[in-house]
């Protein structure tokens, strides 16, 4: 595998934006920007022997900065932090002290997805990005140092390893917001076959915020235990935007989901050390000028966002999302493609 680093010619907040390319011995390829940790391409060989990009993105970096895109911002292919998903009222307490963060989805108005990350030297054929989030950024306490190492193996595994440390107790819940479509010509993802080893899901209120109630999937549209077409039980207006509790030991690497498309013969397996997989079918996607001049509309992709329990910082019964000084936050998620 080899890694290349190419300048985009863009300077944001005084830092240069680069495209970082990974390629393995099978000719599979990934492109990552150090802006937002965006993974814009993951190109593999499908069952017809054709090269196929299974990620939604833009042909060049300018697309991620356009006014049209940002006006209906879908977090396309980015690292989400400091805290993914929703925190109730943007408020939480640590050790009796209350904090009010910027009330917004996925970590605030200007989260990790809109930062230029530093590129660290690496020994292995991989890349490591680092972002140092100052204390009180978006209302979060403590200076948080985050590193993300990305590898593309010869088995077509895109491996994301996260680490973070802090100098004060703080809240952290990172994820990656990649949008996948495995069909050879893209389009609606309702015919994808999708399975999730998750016997329970998390109840949400009218604002899609997790309430703390854990519900069984049995007898509901959320049951993907045996696998089914995404569109089989899906509300055609709403789709899926739900957090699933994975049936695996806490903290151990295990299967989060597997998804297949008949037209390409491709299967995407997601493995993670995290306890939750948030399954989202892109209801709000509205991109008229995506890669290859394609239109990316509602339900033209799916996301499997591996993370801790959303709003878990406010729900003591859920696994903690508090990081303490001296401890290290660690997470691994693997996107593995096969035929």
Element (H, E) at 238: none
- Do the beta carbons of residue 190 and residue 231 sit within 8 Å? yes
In a domain, 279, yes or no: yes
Burial class (CB within 10 angstroms; exposed 0-12, middle 13-18, buried 19+) of 154:
exposed
Indicate if the pLDDT at residue 101 is higher than 90: no
- CA gap 81, 96 in Å, rounded: 23
For the chain, the helix, strand and coil percentages under 3-state DSSP, each to the nearest 5? 5, 45, 50
pLDDT at 1: 46
Nearest 5°: the CA angle 65, 71, 75 is: 65
177, 194, 308, 309: the catalytic one is: 177
Q: pLDDT tens-digit profile of 54-95?
A: 999 999 999 999 999 999 999 999 999 999 999 999 999 999
In a domain, 96, yes or no: yes
Burial class (CB within 10 angstroms; exposed 0-12, middle 13-18, buried 19+) of 21:
middle
In a domain, 274, yes or no: yes
322 φ, ψ (degrees, to nearest 5) = -95, 130
- Do the beta carbons of residue 223 and residue 217 sit within 8 Å? yes
In a domain, 9, yes or no: no
**Token pair for 263:** 């037209």
183, 305, 308, 309: the catalytic one is: 305
Domain count, the chain: 1
Q: pLDDT tens-digit profile of 185-212?
A: 999 999 999 999 999 999 999 989 999 9
Domain that holds residue 263: 55-119+129-145+156-338
| 305 in catalytic set | yes
Q: Which residues pair with 269 in a beta bridge?
A: 258, 336
The DSSP string of 250-306 is: TTS-EEEEEEEETTTTEEEEEEESSSEEEEE--TT--BTT-GGG--B-TTS-BEEEE
Q: What is the CATH number of the domain that holds 202?
A: 2.70.98.10
| 308 in catalytic set | no
pLDDT at 104: 65
**Token pair for 334:** 């693997």
Q: pLDDT tens-digit profile of 228-261?
A: 999 999 999 999 999 999 999 999 999 999 999 9
In a domain, 24, yes or no: no
In a domain, 79, yes or no: yes
pLDDT at 125: 75
pTM: 0.97
In a domain, 174, yes or no: yes
In a domain, 233, yes or no: yes
């Amino acid at each position: 595998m080899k890694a290349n680093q190419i300048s985009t010619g863009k300077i944001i907040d005084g830092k240069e934006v680069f495209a970082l390319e990974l390629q393995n011995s099978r000719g599979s390829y990934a492109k990552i920007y150090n802006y937002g940790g965006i993974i814009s391409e993951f190109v593999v060989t499908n069952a017809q022997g054709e090269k196929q990009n299974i990620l939604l993105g833009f042909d060049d970096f300018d697309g991620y900065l356009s006014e049209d895109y940002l006006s209906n911002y879908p977090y396309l292919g980015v690292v989400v932090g400091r805290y993914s998903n929703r925190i109730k009222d943007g408020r939480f307490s640590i050790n009796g002290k209350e904090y009010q963060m910027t009330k917004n989805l996925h970590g605030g108005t200007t989260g990790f997805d809109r930062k230029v990350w530093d590129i660290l030297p690496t020994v292995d054929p991989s890349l490591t990005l680092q972002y140092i989030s100052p204390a009180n950024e978006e209302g979060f306490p403590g200076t948080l140092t985050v590193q993300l190492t990305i590898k593309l193996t010869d088995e077509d595994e895109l491996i994301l390893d996260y680490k973070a440390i802090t100098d004060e107790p703080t809240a952290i819940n990172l994820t990656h917001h990649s949008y996948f479509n495995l069909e050879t010509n893209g389009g609606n993802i309702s015919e994808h076959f999708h399975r999730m080893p998750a016997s329970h899901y998390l109840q949400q209120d009218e604002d899609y915020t997790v309430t703390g109630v854990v519900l069984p999937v049995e007898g509901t549209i959320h049951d993907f235990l045996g696998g089914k077409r995404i569109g089989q039980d899906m509300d055609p207006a709403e789709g899926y935007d739900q957090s699933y509790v994975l049936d695996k030991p806490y903290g151990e690497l295990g299967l989060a989901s597997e998804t297949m498309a008949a037209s390409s013969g491709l299967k995407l397996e997601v493995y993670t050390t995290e306890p939750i997989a948030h399954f989202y079918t892109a209801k709000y996607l509205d991109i008229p000028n995506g890669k290859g001049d394609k239109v990316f509309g509602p339900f033209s992709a799916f996301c499997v966002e591996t993370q801790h329990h959303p709003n878990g910082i406010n729900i003591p019964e859920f696994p903690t999302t508090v990081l303490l000084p001296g401890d290290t936050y660690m997470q691994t998620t693997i996107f593995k493609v096969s035929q």
